[in-house]
Chain A
């Protein structure tokens, strides 16, 4: 069962206050920490990374009263140490193996494929061209293609990655809306 963070307005305010005196900065830090925790647990092979991240935050929130007065240092370190403990607890409980059908699940066409096609059509022509070019070909030709793209666009690999990332984020949002519309029909 997925556990939500124990967030009341009061406890959330306490946490934000502990993260940063500026509320806006504090909210941004909170989001970054939560995303980082999910990533950490996921990269360690935890199947419920989001739940474990929220559990970490829950435990930190419980301690914010004493942390505010007794703790000095980067809050990130405290989160990390709590996360380590939670990971150890997880290891004791889990029996991890990849279900054999996952690989084939990946190969099956996604239920979002139709929406993806529609969303690709809605992209600006240049963005559509870039994202499709980026996924063209395979193996060595793909690597050469990426190099050619960076030269063509007079940009770096990092910037190309950023552009592709933004286009993919746009597509993901579009697909979510498309799925909503399909479900409402």
Chain B
């Protein structure tokens, strides 16, 4: 029997009705006055019920127990509950052994788990035999694990070698592909250069044979001074040939103290068709002017106005001058 404290022995004797009157009154008074003592008695009461249910009582104890516990509905209920638990436990015992490994029936204790203790509780064999079996299992297990490890290592080595050889082949293949691509590239380049050379030779030949075209004019130029009359008779004329591509302008400046200039080209309707900003004055001899050019497509035959704006230091635009001209095609 497990060791019990003196207190537990007294409580047990009280619960079974073995205490003399004087001691019984002490226990009962303490039950009423001490909540912790009441809880302890309740716990031991449960244990007593368990002992009864599991057949751990002497005949005398059994008789006393039945007198005090089974005569009350609560005591009877306690005993029935414990009996049911015991039945469940016994029925589950065999199932637990068969279903080892299943989560619901895994016999894992709350804290430490001793395999040796667990085996002892299940199989009635001497301790040293259980220990010997355990050691044997462990050795066998270790041996098998070692063999598996060695074989795995050999397999890994073979795989590594195979993999390395595959990589080498792949590298050679890649080199070959690169070389072929390079060859193709060079072939294409050579062909292109040969074609270009042939073209240049043809051009050279045609250039040698060609005569200069005196009538070909690609650029038309005009010099404009400010303040010319607005009337059509006094306008400067810009003559545009059939092959003229651009018109070059030179505006003579009256005021040259601006930081920069803006020029706005307007047609007869006063609509701006072109503009240029931040133009700088260029010196030409003793005077300064503005040079710019336009594509000739902007200038169908007609009258035009070039408005000139000076840009001050503060970045403001101030009207400076107007220049009138007319385009004529020949």
Contacts and interface: CB of A to CB of B under 8 A. Distances in A.
Interface stretch (B79-87, B141-149, B238-246, B274-282): B79-87
B75 to A, nearest CB: 6
A136 interface: yes
B117 A152 contact: yes
Interface string A64-90: 000000000010110110000000000
B76 interface: yes
Contacts of B72: 42, 46-49
A119 to B, nearest CB: 10
A110 B84 CA distance: 6
**Category for how many chain A residues contact B:** 35 or more
Interface stretch (B41-49, B167-175, B196-204, B305-313): B41-49
Contacts of A98: 66-67, 70-71
A135 B83 CA distance: 9
B74 A148 contact: no
B43 A50 contact: no
A113 B112 CA distance: 31
B111 A42 contact: no
Interface string A107-132: 10110110011001100011011111
Given A47-B72, A76-B32, A148 B117 contact: yes
Interface residues of B, number: 65
Interface string A1-22: 0000000000000000000000
Most buried by A among B74, B81, B84, B86: B84
A131 B85 contact: yes
B4 to A, nearest CB: 8
- Listed from nearest, the 9 A-B pairs whose CB atoms lie closest are A76-B33, A135-B89, A76-B32, A36-B31, A132-B89, A32-B35, A42-B72, A110-B84, A135-B86
Interface of A: 28-29, 32-33, 35-40, 42-50, 74, 76-77, 79-80, 96, 98, 102-103, 105-107, 109-110, 112-113, 116-117, 120-121, 125-126, 128-139, 142-149, 151-155, 157-158, 161-165, 168, 171-172
24 contacts: A32-B35, A42-B72, A45-B68, A47-B72, A49-B72, A74-B33, A76-B32, A80-B28, A80-B29, A105-B80, A106-B79, A129-B105, A131-B85, A132-B93, A135-B54, A135-B82, A136-B89, A142-B54, A143-B1, A148-B121, A152-B117, A153-B112, A154-B112, A161-B44
